[in-house]
């Protein structure tokens, strides 16, 4: 399992010469994707799918990082190919990690991409490159932009759980890079933003926060950490929520059920209005975007489920031609969607966008 990771605490003296160049997080050559909080000496990453990219000419590169709350996992993507998965363990010390070494002395593009849940907080302090390397101009950003709001399915929970092994939610098996949202964004060569957390709902979650309370934050755990929506205006927004609500509304002994509803299960009118209100909030942030109200591919879309109809009714009440329903068929298997399941969802979403939006 963990032996398969190339996990290196690096003393850069073994990789680079003693003379090197340090590239700070605010350097103009760096490109960030997703919501990032810029601090005096670091950039904070919270949400899955957040990334930082750089173009450079050289044979290797390190990153100085730290993780709190729980271990975090990242892909290192060199020249558009995944080369390494690194683990950032929990700790207070800044650590230099080797991202790439032994490259040819030519121009390279590197992306450091967060795979795991928003329950780890990661500090990026900068890149290190050998002194004989050269920082190159940042690539132009794609014109298309897409954003996803979702739960474990969208976050990439359990994507890499091996066959036959129990899906326990450990961070190691999260993989947002192969979740349907990231797959769709790459298909369209679009900028990608992912606001997702495993276990979250619209009305109720498996923990105190719900999506309408945190969707507008940089740091999901800080109510004062407000995101400036003018920084990123997507052409398409995909919302895939209600899977967790569908379970918890039938569990009156659940602490979050009692906290949100007391002793009375919410009726259909309450459910429809809660969904409509959240989509209305998204619409207020992005007046021109196409909004795809998705659900699935877990049991909220199994045969006989009422939850797709709640979404349809919420959309109907909004009377907005640029808000569309899309339901991923129930995968009819245990655990969370794996890579093949996620690819099937991406294929369906891609076809839907091409047919109905013409992106």
Report d(CA 287, CA 159) in Å as an integer: 33
Instruction: Kindly state whether residue 312 falls inside one of the protein's structural domains.
Output: yes
225-264 residue pLDDT tens: 999 999 999 999 999 999 999 999 999 999 999 999 999 9
| 166 and 116 assigned to the same domain | no
| 168 and 66 assigned to the same domain | no
Is it the case that residue 3 has pLDDT exceeding 90?
Answer: no
Is it the case that residue 12 has pLDDT exceeding 60?
Answer: no
Report d(CA 211, CA 67) in Å as an integer: 24
Cα 104 to its chain centre, rounded Å, is 31
User: Residue 2 — very low, low, confident or very high, per pLDDT cuts 50/70/90?
Assistant: very low
At how many degrees (to 10) do helices 307-318 and 268-285 cross?
50
Report d(CA 98, CA 90) in Å as an integer: 17
80-122 residue pLDDT tens: 999 999 999 999 999 999 999 999 999 999 999 999 999 999 9
Asked if residues 129 and 61 have their Cβ atoms less than 8 Å apart, the reply is yes
Q: What is the pLDDT of residue 19?
A: 76
Place of tokens 């309450």: 270
153-166 residue pLDDT tens: 999 999 999 999 99
What average pLDDT does range 120-145 have in this prediction?
Answer: 98
Is it the case that residue 45 has pLDDT exceeding 80?
Answer: yes
Of 12 and 57, the one with more pLDDT:
57
| 160 and 112 assigned to the same domain | no
Nearest-5° angle of CA 77, CA 56, CA 73? 30
66-81 residue pLDDT tens: 999 999 999 999 999 9
Q: Of 80, 101, 135, which one is at a domain's C-terminal end?
A: 135
Q: Of 100, 135, 170, which one is at a domain's C-terminal end?
A: 135
| 169 and 225 assigned to the same domain | yes
Which uninterrupted H or E stretch holds 317?
helix 307-318
User: Residue 13 — very low, low, confident or very high, per pLDDT cuts 50/70/90?
Assistant: very low
Q: Is 326 helix (H, G, I), strand (E, B) or coil?
A: strand
| 198 and 323 assigned to the same domain | yes
Mean per-residue pLDDT of the chain: 95
Q: Of 135, 155, 173, which one is at a domain's C-terminal end?
A: 135
| 68 and 192 assigned to the same domain | no
| 204 and 266 assigned to the same domain | yes
Closest listed residue to residue 190, CA positions, set 149, 147, 240: 147
Q: What is the pLDDT of residue 17?
A: 43
Q: What is the pLDDT of residue 7?
A: 43
The number of distinct structural domains making up the chain is: 2
User: Residue 132 — very low, low, confident or very high, per pLDDT cuts 50/70/90?
Assistant: very high
Question: DSSP string of 153-218?
Answer: HHHTTTTTPPTTS-----GGG--GGGSHHHHHHHHTT-EEEEEE-TT--SS--SSS--HHHHTTBS
| 188 and 327 assigned to the same domain | yes
Q: What is the pLDDT of residue 263?
A: 98
Instruction: Kindly state whether residue 255 falls inside one of the protein's structural domains.
Output: yes
| 172 and 236 assigned to the same domain | yes
Report d(CA 188, CA 172) in Å as an integer: 28
| Sequence-distant (≥ 6) Cβ neighbours of residue 84 within 8 angstroms | 6, 75, 76, 99, 100
| 301 and 278 assigned to the same domain | yes
Instruction: Kindly state whether residue 150 falls inside one of the protein's structural domains.
Output: yes
174-228 residue pLDDT tens: 999 999 999 999 999 999 999 999 999 999 999 999 999 999 999 999 999 999 9
Nearest-Å Rg of the Cα atoms of the chain is 21
274-313 residue pLDDT tens: 999 999 999 999 999 999 999 999 999 999 999 999 999 9
Establish how many alpha carbons lie within 13 A of residue 187's alpha carbon, considering only the half-sphere containing its beta carbon.
18
Query: Domain range for residue 24?
Result: 2-135
User: Residue 55 — very low, low, confident or very high, per pLDDT cuts 50/70/90?
Assistant: very high
The model's pTM is 0.94
Q: Which CATH number does the domain housing residue 304 bear?
A: 3.40.50.1110
As a whole-number percent, the residues of the chain with pLDDT over 70 amount to 95
Instruction: Kindly state whether residue 205 falls inside one of the protein's structural domains.
Output: yes
Q: Which CATH number does the domain housing residue 100 bear?
A: 2.60.120.260
| 171 and 295 assigned to the same domain | yes
Instruction: Kindly state whether residue 140 falls inside one of the protein's structural domains.
Output: no
312-344 residue pLDDT tens: 999 999 999 999 999 999 999 999 999 999 999
Place of tokens 């957390």: 197
| 103 and 158 assigned to the same domain | no
Report d(CA 355, CA 359) in Å as an integer: 9
């Amino acid at each position: 399992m963990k032996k398969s990771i190339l996990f290196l605490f690096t003393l850069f003296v073994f990789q680079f010469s003693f003379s090197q160049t340090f590239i700070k997080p605010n350097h103009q050559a760096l490109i960030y994707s997703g919501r990032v909080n810029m601090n005096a000496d670091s950039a904070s990453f919270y949400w899955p799918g957040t990334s930082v990219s750089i173009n450079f000419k050289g044979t290797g590169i390190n990153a100085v990082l730290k993780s709190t709350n729980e271990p975090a996992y990242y892909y290192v993507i060199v020249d558009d190919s995944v080369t390494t998965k690194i683990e950032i363990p929990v700790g207070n010390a800044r650590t230099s990690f080797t991202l790439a070494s032994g490259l040819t002395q030519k121009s390279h593009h590197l992306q450091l991409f967060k795979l795991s849940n928003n329950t780890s907080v990661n500090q990026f302090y900068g890149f290190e490159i050998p002194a004989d390397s050269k920082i190159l101009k940042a690539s132009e950003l794609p014109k298309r932009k897409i954003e996803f709001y979702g739960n474990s399915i969208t976050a990439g929970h359990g994507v890499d759980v091996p066959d036959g092994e129990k899906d326990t939610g450990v961070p190691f098996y999260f993989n947002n890079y192969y979740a349907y949202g990231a797959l769709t964004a790459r298909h369209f060569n679009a900028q990608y933003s992912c606001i997702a957390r495993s276990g979250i709902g619209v009305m109720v979650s498996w923990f105190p926060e719900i999506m309408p309370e945190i969707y507008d934050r940089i740091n999901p755990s800080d109510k004062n950490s407000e995101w400036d929506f003018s920084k990123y205006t997507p052409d398409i927004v995909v919302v895939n929520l209600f899977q967790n609500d569908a379970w918890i509304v039938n569990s009156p002994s659940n602490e979050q059920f009692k906290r949100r509803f007391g002793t009375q299960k919410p009726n259909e009118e309450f459910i429809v209005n809660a969904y409509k209100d959240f989509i209305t909030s998204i619409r207020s942030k992005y007046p021109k975007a196409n909004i795809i109200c998705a659900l699935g591919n877990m049991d909220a879309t199994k045969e006989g489920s009422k939850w797709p109809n709640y979404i349809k009714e919420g959309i109907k009440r909004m009377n907005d031609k640029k808000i569309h329903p899309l339901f991923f068929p129930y995968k009819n298997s245990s655990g969370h969607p794996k890579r093949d399941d996620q690819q099937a969802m991406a294929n369906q979403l891609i076809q839907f966008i091409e047919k109905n939006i013409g992106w």
